[in-house]
């Protein structure tokens, strides 16, 4: 009997042959349907076996995380159509619990999050808990860790939340993320060291739903775009030119969004963040956009960056920082006296999102306010160092995978190691290994690469092993660097570009535990 291990599909495959994603899906589908018993009688004992989402090892990893008597934090999330007010314009979109962003989900580290999802959308959905090292079968990867939740259906996610920090949740199906389906997941630290007086979540988004082309129309235009670039194709950016971003090493993106939102509000109706002069404000910044990186600054202030993707770093003080899709940064500012523009410039695009940090009376900053800090000292990934509490021990990797990112704006096909997801060859690892991923961008666009279920440590050349822990990292055109992870969370995990349109066009593979 091997009820918790899924053999690889076709007996014809020799044990060492790479298996494609398609072959894995066959096995996964059979198991999901509860028909795996026959497959357990594999006649190839030496055949490497996939550690599937229902494997015993997944339950063991969860048991290791879960403390006896851990409190259960219950939340109810309903994904449904909703009408929202964007500066007086009523727009129908999809959201959680009727608001954009969705509700703040806020467990403490060590608690069990029990989140009931009711799907009142007209299409199937899932929730992915971005950045959380959770049990594989709760990861929300459709067709991989669970069947998608059908319209009218319900699914309850239940998992231990191991690490404090700033995370978020969103669907992992189709183009749903480019509507209003996202929300912050803040995991409190029972031993929070503090160092701030108040905090504010800042969720950034690029917005088209109900105002510009639909996400489906944008996807179709990207697919049909070869040869049409820069010809005024509605909703599309030109290539390069004045909109190019030196920080991102090229274009900011391909989609020219009509609006950018900060906590669900456009610049014409910015949210106010109230505080008192002299207070230390902790900003928890989440980029929930589908296709836009943001350059964030607070007029008249410097930002002391304390966390990347939820995990602590040695503090670095800058004027501005660029946040890629899926990334999070926490930064502390000591507030002056007045009303200050919190600006998130759409990097390499036109437009911006805006909030107002107000500690005193005075005029509201203009919707197009461009504080000088945006052009000041920018955070560089290479200067971040993991806090020693979360750094990986120095160790040579047991296994190295190259992750080549390629594709082009002219053919709208984006690949990892030359393959789109439907044909991808999983990156195999074994539990306990130190795994190195060499991220190599061989395309002319930046890619925020996101790994599910783990955070890796960026390997900085000047000080090997000491870079920040992250789960999403921007890889610029023609750039290459390594990230290391400890393979301590068995299962099948998505590795993909967090540009939603690149992901949908194939830029996704699997980090696949075998044994
Ligand atoms: Cu990409």
Cα(438) to centroid(ligand 1), Å: 16
Cα(488) to centroid(ligand 1), Å: 26
Sign of the C-alpha dihedral computed for residues 344, 346, 348 and 350 taken in this order: negative
- Nearest 5°: the CA angle 246, 216, 170 is 70
What's the CA gap between 348 and 409, in Å, rounded?
16
Cα(246) to centroid(ligand 1), Å: 17
Q: Using DSSP, how many helices (H) and how many strands (E) does the chain show?
A: 4, 29
Cα(283) to centroid(ligand 1), Å: 26
- pLDDT number for residue 18: 46
User: Which residue bears the tokens 């004992």?
Assistant: 45
Nearest to 124, CA basis, from 51, 175, 166 = 175
Q: List the beta bridge partners of residue 155.
A: 117
Cα(139) to centroid(ligand 1), Å: 21
Cα(494) to centroid(ligand 1), Å: 14
Q: What count of other Cβ atoms lies within 10 Å of the Cβ of residue 312?
A: 21
Residue 31 phi, psi (nearest 5): -65, -40
Contact 384, 391 (CB under 8 A): no
Which helix (H) or strand (E) covers residue 500, if one does?
helix 500-504
- pLDDT number for residue 42: 40
User: Which residue bears the tokens 């775009």?
Assistant: 225
Cα(322) to centroid(ligand 1), Å: 16
Cα(393) to centroid(ligand 1), Å: 30
What's the CA gap between 137 and 112, in Å, rounded?
15
- pLDDT number for residue 77: 98
Q: In what order do the strands lie in the sheet with 280-287?
A: 259-262, 198-207, 280-287, 328-334, 303-308, 311-318
Q: List the beta bridge partners of residue 341.
A: 356
User: Which residue bears the tokens 């928890």?
Assistant: 284
Residue 138 phi, psi (nearest 5): -110, 15
Token readout for 471 is 């789960």
Cα(347) to centroid(ligand 1), Å: 15
Cα(505) to centroid(ligand 1), Å: 9
- pLDDT number for residue 25: 43
Q: List the beta bridge partners of residue 94.
A: 81
Q: List the beta bridge partners of residue 313.
A: 386
Cα(507) to centroid(ligand 1), Å: 7
Contact 479, 249 (CB under 8 A): yes
What's the CA gap between 133 and 11, in Å, rounded?
33
Cα(475) to centroid(ligand 1), Å: 9
Cα(36) to centroid(ligand 1), Å: 35
- pLDDT number for residue 31: 36
- pLDDT number for residue 46: 54
Cα(249) to centroid(ligand 1), Å: 13
- pLDDT number for residue 91: 97
Cα(411) to centroid(ligand 1), Å: 14
Cα(502) to centroid(ligand 1), Å: 5
DSSP string, 218-270: HHHHHHT-TTTTTS--TTBPPSSGGG-BTTTTB-S-SB--SEEEETTB-TTSP
- pLDDT number for residue 44: 43
Cα(471) to centroid(ligand 1), Å: 15
Token readout for 306 is 């304390």
- pLDDT number for residue 408: 85
Cα(439) to centroid(ligand 1), Å: 12
Grouped pLDDT means (10 residues each) for the chain, 515 residues: 34 38 41 34 59 97 95 98 98 98 98 98 98 98 97 98 98 98 97 94 98 95 66 60 81 95 98 98 98 98 98 97 98 98 97 98 95 98 93 93 92 93 97 98 97 94 73 97 97 98 97 97
- pLDDT number for residue 462: 53
- pLDDT number for residue 150: 98
Q: In what order do the strands lie in the sheet with 183-187?
A: 128-130, 165-170, 183-187
Token readout for 1 is 């009997």
What's the CA gap between 494 and 326, in Å, rounded?
14
């Amino acid at each position: 009997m091997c009820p918790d291990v899924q053999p690889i599909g076709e007996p014809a495959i020799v044990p060492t042959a790479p298996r494609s994603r398609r072959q894995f899906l066959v096995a996964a589908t059979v198991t999901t349907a509860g028909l795996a018993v026959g497959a357990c009688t594999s006649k190839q004992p030496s055949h490497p076996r996939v550690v599937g989402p229902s494997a015993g090892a997944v339950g063991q990893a969860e048991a290791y995380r879960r403390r006896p008597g851990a409190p259960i934090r219950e939340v109810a999330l309903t994904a449904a159509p909703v009408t929202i007010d964007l500066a007086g314009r009523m727009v129908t979109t999809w959201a959680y619990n009727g608001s954009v962003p969705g509700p703040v989900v806020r467990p403490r580290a060590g608690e069990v999050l029990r989140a009931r999802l009711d799907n009142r959308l007209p299409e199937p959905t899932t929730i992915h808990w971005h950045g959380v090292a959770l049990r594989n079968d709760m990861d929300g990867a459709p067709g991989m860790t669970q069947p998608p939740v059908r319209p009218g259906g319900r699914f309850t996610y239940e998992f231990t939340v191991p690490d404090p920090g700033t995370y978020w949740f969103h669907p992992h199906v189709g183009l749903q993320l480019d509507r209003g389906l996202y929300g912050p997941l803040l995991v409190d630290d029972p031993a929070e060291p503090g160092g701030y007086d108040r905090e504010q979540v800042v969720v950034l988004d690029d917005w088209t739903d109900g105002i510009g082309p639909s996400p489906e129309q944008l996807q179709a235009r990207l697919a049909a775009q070869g040869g049409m670039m820069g010809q005024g194709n509605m909703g599309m950016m030109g290539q390069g030119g004045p909109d190019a971003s030196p920080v991102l090493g090229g274009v900011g993106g391909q989609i020219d969004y009509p609006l950018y939102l900060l906590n669900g509000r456009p610049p014409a109706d910015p949210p106010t963040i109230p505080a008192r002069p002299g207070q230390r404000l902790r900003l928890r910044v989440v980029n929930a956009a589908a296709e836009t990186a943001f350059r964030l600054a607070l007029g008249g202030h410097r930002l002391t960056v304390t966390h990347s993707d939820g995990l602590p770093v040695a503090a670095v003080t800058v004027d501005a920082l660029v946040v890629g899709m899926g990334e999070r940064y926490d930064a502390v500012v000591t507030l002056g006296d007045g009303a200050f523009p919190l600006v998130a410039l759409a990097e390499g695009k036109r437009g911006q999102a805006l909030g107002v940090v107000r500690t005193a009376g005075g005029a509201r900053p203009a919707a197009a306010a461009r504080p000088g800090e945006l052009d000041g000292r920018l955070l560089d990934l290479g200067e971040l160092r993991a806090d020693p509490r979360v750094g990986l021990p120095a160790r040579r990797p047991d296994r190295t995978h190259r992750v080549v990112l390629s594709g082009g704006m002219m053919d709208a096909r984006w690949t990892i190691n030359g393959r789109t997801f439907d044909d991808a060859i999983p990156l195999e690892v074994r539990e306990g290994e130190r795994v190195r991923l060499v991220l190599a961008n061989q395309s002319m666009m930046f890619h925020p690469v996101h790994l599910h279920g783990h955070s890796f440590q960026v390997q900085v050349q000047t000080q090997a092993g000491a870079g920040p822990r992250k789960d999403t990292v921007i890889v610029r055109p023609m750039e290459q660097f390594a990230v290391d992870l400890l393979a301590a969370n068995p299962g099948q995990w998505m590795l993909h570009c967090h540009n939603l349109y690149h992901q949908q066009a194939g830029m996704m593979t699997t980090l696949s535990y075998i044994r």
